[in-house]
Structure 1
Amino acid sequence: MGYIIGEDREQASLLPSRIEDYVAPDAAVRVIDAFADGLDLMALGFVRAVAASTGRPGYDPRDLLKLYVWGYFNEVRSSRRLERACRRDVEAMWLMRRLAPDFKTIADFRRDNGPAIVGTCRAFVLVCREAGLFAARLVALDGSKFRAAASPKKVIGSREIAEEQARLDNRIATYLSGLDAADANEPDDEPDAYGVALAVLRARRAELDRMAGKLETQERNTLVEGEEDARPMRSGGGQKPPCYNVQTAVDTDTGLIVHHEVTDEPTDRRQLHPMASATKESLDLDTLTVVADKGFDNGEHASACERDGIITCVPSQRSINNQGDGTLFDRTAFAYDAATDTLACPAGRTLVRKQLHRKKRNVTYVSQDCSGCALKPSCTTAERRTVKRHLDDEALNRMDARATPQMMKARRCAVEHPFGTIKRMTAGGRFLTRNLKGTRTEMALSILAYNIMRAANIKTAIA
C-alpha cells in the first residue's frame, strides 16, 4: 500500500477566475463585510470618514475596520500578522479586495479610532435587537480579569520607589563628585560623559517623584510602571499580575453580550448599578431584570437600581454574629420599626439608634437595658446587646430573596461561555495594547467578533 500523493507542483491547473469563488456563501466574513458596509462611519466618529479632496488618497476606514474585526474573529490581533494575512489568506484578500496596507497604517487605525470602534460594537447589538435575535428579558452580569500588556516585574510600590530613590541619590552624588574632579583637571576637549549620565539619572529621579506623588494622591499601594491604568489583581490563586477587570452583561436567552466595560476596579462590588443602568439605557427598556453573583453585592447599588426600575437578583454576603460559641441571636432575629427607627429584640425589648457610619452605610443600635432578660444568654455575652443595620437593608433583603437557585443557574450558564470563548480568542485573556484607552478598543473588537460569531450560529440554528 502506498500513501495518498498530492498533485505535481509543476502541473498546470485551471483555477477559478474570481476570488469570490474561494469564499463560501455562508462564511462569517460575509457577515462582517455586510455589517461594516451598513455603518454610518461619520456618525460613529471614525477619523477620515470622508475622503480628503486633496493629497494622496488614503485607505477607507471601513476596509480597515473590516480587517480588524475579521482578525479578532480568527485570533489574529497583531498589526504585522494582519499585514501578512492580506497577502496570503484568501478570506482577507476577498474582504480587502486585495488591498494590503502596511502594519503601521493598520496599527494607527486602531489607536486613532478607539471610541468609534466601541460605538461600532454597540451598534451591532442594536442591529441584533432590531432583527429580533433577543428580547433581553433577563441579563446576567459578570466580571473577569484580563492580563495587561505590562510585566508583573513592573509593579512598584512605595517601598521600592524609596529604595530606588536612595540608590539614585547616591549615584547622582558620585557623578557630581566626578564632575568636580573633571572641572579641576579642565579637560575642555573631552566629551561631557558625566553630564549626560547625570541628566539621565535626574530624569529617572523626577519620574520616581511623580509616581510617588501619584501613589499618595490616589491612596494606592502599588503602581504599574509603563501602564499606570492597570492594577495588580488576583484571578484565582497565586500572584497578582497587572490586570483589568472586564465587565459584561449577557442576554441569558441567546448568549449575546449586550453591554461591556473595561475597568481598573479590582473587585465587582461597585459595578452593579453602572453596568445595569448602562445596559438598560443602551437597550432603551423601561424595566430590566439582572442577575449576578455575590461579588456584586452592594446595598447602595441595590437601592439605586430599584429607583431606576432595575430588578436585581444578587445573593447577599452579610456578616453573621460570631460572638460567643456562634449560637447567639443573629441580626435577622431583630425586627426593625421604621416609624420609630428602633429594633425590637426577640424578648421584646427596644434597641435605640446610637451611631451612624456614613462610609460603611450602617447604623449601630444598642439596647437600653438587658438586665434580667431570660434570653440574654442566647443573645449576648456583653452587658448590653448592639446590632448594626445597613442603611439599604430592605433593598438587600429583597435582592437576596430574588436570587433563587434557578436564577443563579441561568446566570452561570449565560456568562461563563462568552468569557471562555473571548479568552481563547485573545491568547488566554491578555491585551496587546496598553492603558484603558487601548484595552477598551481591543475588548470592543473582541466582543464584536464574538457577537458576530454567536449571531451567525443563532441564525444557522433557526434556519
Structure 2
Amino acid sequence: MGYIVGEDRAQASLLPARVEGFVAAEAAVRVIDAFVDGLDLAGLGFGRAVPATTGRPGYDPRDLLKLYVWGYFNEVRSSRRLERACRRDVEAMWLLRRLAPDFKTIADFRRDNGPAIVGAARAFVLLCRDAGLFAARLVALDGSKFRAAASPKKVIGRDGIAEEAARLDRKIASYLAGLDEADAREPDDEPGAVPAALAALRTRRAELDRLAARMDAEGRATLVEDEADARPMGHGAGPKPPSYNVQSVVDVETGLIVHHAVTDEPTDRRQLHPMASATKAALDLAALTVVADKGYGNGAHAGACERDAILACVPPHRAVNNQGDGTLFDRTAFAYQPETDTLVCPAGRSLIRKQLHRKKRNVTYVAVDCSGCALKDRCTTAERRFVERHLDDDTLNRMAARATPEMMRARRCAVEHPFGTIKRMMAGGRFLTRNLKGTRTEIALSVLAYNLLRTINLRNAPA
C-alpha cells in the first residue's frame, strides 16, 4: 500500500480567484483587521493618519499597524522578516491587500509611532472594558526581567572605565612618542595611518570621560554602552545582563492584561501604587483590589493605595531578628502604644523613641533598662534591646493580613501565564529595540497581540 502523495507540480490548477479564499473565516487575522480599522489613528497620534494632498503618497498607517500586530501575534518581529512575509505569507498578503513595504519603511513606522502604538494597546483594553469583560474587580500585579538588545559585554563600571582610560592614555602617549621620533628622522614624511589611529584613541578616551560624568551625575555604579536606559538586572550570583523591568496588571477572571509598563528600576518596590492607580483609572472603577508578591511591600505605597480606595494584598517583606540564631523575640512581640509613642516588651517594660530614619521611614526604639529582666535571655544578647518600627507599620500589617493563601494562589495562576506567553512570542524575552522609547513600543505590540489571542480563546472557550 502506498503513501498519501500530493499533486504533480506540473499539473495545472485552478486556485481561488481571490486572496480572500485563502483565509479562513475564523482566522485571527480578520480580528486584527477589524480592530485596527475601528481605531481613530489621528486621535492616537499616528503620523500621516490623514493623507497629504500633495507629494508622493505614503503607506496607510493602518496597514503598517496591522502588519506589526499580525507579526507579533505570529512571533515575527523583525522588519526584514515582515517584509519577506508580505511576499510569501497568504495571511499577510490578505491583510495588506498584497502590498509589500520595504523593511526600512516598516522599521521607521515602529520607531516614529511609539506613543501612538502604546495608545492602540490601551484602546483595546478600553474596548474590552466597555464590552464588560473586566467584572472581577480583582487584579494581579507582577514584574519580570526582559533582556535588552545590548550585549552583556557592554556593561561597564567605574573600575572598567578607569582601567580602559589608563590603557588608552598609555597608547596615546606611545603614539605621540612615535610621531616625535618620526618627525625627527624624516620631518617631511607623512606618518601614514598613525594620525587616524591616534584620533580613534582620543575619541574613545573622550567617550569614557562622558560615561564617567554621566555615572557620577546619576549616582550609578554601572552603565550600558549604546543603551543607556538598560540596567544590569536578574537574580542569582554572577554578572547580570542588561535588562528592563516589565510590569503587568492582569485581570484574575479573564487573564487579560489591563495595564503594563516598562521601567529601568531593578526592583518592584516602587511600582505598587503607580501600577494600581493607573489600572483603577483604566477600568474606571471606584474601588479596586490588587494582589502582588512580597517584592511590592512598600509602606508609603500601601498608604497611598488605601487613600485612593485600592486594597493592596501583599505579604510582608521585613527583616527578622537575626541575633541568637533567630530564636530571640521578633519585633512582632513588642506592642506599640500610640498614646505615648512607646513599645512594650513581652516582660511589660517600655522602649522609648530614640531616632527617626527618614530615608528608611522607620523609628528606632530602645529599652530604658533591661537589667534583672527574666526574659532577657530570650530577647537580646546586648545590654539593652533595640527595635525598629516602620512609620507605616499599621498599614503594612493590614496589607499583609489581606494577603491570604487563597489570594496568593490567585495571583500565581493569573499573572505568570501572560509573561510566559509573551516571552515565547519574543524569542525568550529579548528586545529588538533599544532604550525605554523602543522597548515600550515593543511591549505594547506584544501585549496587544497577547490580549487579542486571549480574547479569541475566551470567545471560543466552551460554555
2:354 aligned counterpart, secondary structure: strand
Alpha-carbon offset, residue 376 of structure 1: 2.4
One-letter identity of the residue aligned with 1:263: T
Show the 5 A alignment for 1:9-408: 9-185=9-185, 188=188, 190=190, 193-235=193-235, 239-408=239-408
**AA of the residue aligned to 1:253:** E
Bigger mean CA offset, 277-286 vs 319-328: 319-328
Deviations 1:393-430 (A, max 9, x none): 01111111100000000000001110110111110111
Percent identical among aligned pairs is 79
Offset at 1:182?
3.8
In the alignment, what sits opposite 2:409? Answer: 409
Moved more, 369-378 or 83-92: 369-378
State the distance in 2 between where 1:405 and 1:179 align: 74
Indicate if the aligned counterparts of 2:179 and 2:191 stay in contact, CA closer than 8 A: no
In 2: Cα distance, 1:195 partner to 1:257 partner? 57
SS at match of 1:205: helix
Tell which deviates more after alignment, 373-382 or 255-264. 373-382
CA contact (8 A) 1:269 1:296 kept: yes
Whether the aligned pair in 2 keeps the contact of 1:367 and 1:386 (CA below 8 Å) is: yes
Partner of residue 439, structure 2? 439
Whether the 8 Å CA contact 2:79–2:103 is kept in 1: the answer is yes
| Separation of aligned partners in 1, 2:255 and 2:237 | 28
Secondary structure class of the residue paired with 1:220: coil
The offset of 1:369, in angstroms, is 2.0
Which runs of 5 or more structure 1 residues have no equivalent in the other structure? none
Structure 1 residues 9-18 or 55-64, which shifts more? 9-18
Residues 227-256 of structure 1 show CA distances to partners (whole Å, capped at 9, x for unaligned) of 111111124565411111111000000000
Letter in 2 for 1:245: N
Unaligned runs of 5+ in 2: none
Distance in structure 1 (CA, Å) of the matches to 2:325 and 2:197: 66
1:178 CA drift (Å): 2.7
SS at match of 2:326: coil
Tell me the SS of whatever aligns to 2:324. coil
Any conservation in 2 of the 1:303–1:392 contact (CA below 8 Å)? yes
Which deviates further from its counterpart, 441-450 or 146-155? 146-155
Residue 185 of structure 1 deviates from its aligned partner by 4.7
Distance 1:338 1:447 in 2: 47
Q: Whole-Å Cα distance in 2 between the matches of residues 242 and 31 of structure 1? A: 36
Task: Report if the CA contact (8 A) 1:145-1:235 is conserved.
Answer: no
- Give CA deviations for 1:366-387 in whole Å, capped at 9, x if unaligned: 1212233332232222222211
In 2: Cα distance, 1:239 partner to 1:164 partner: 19
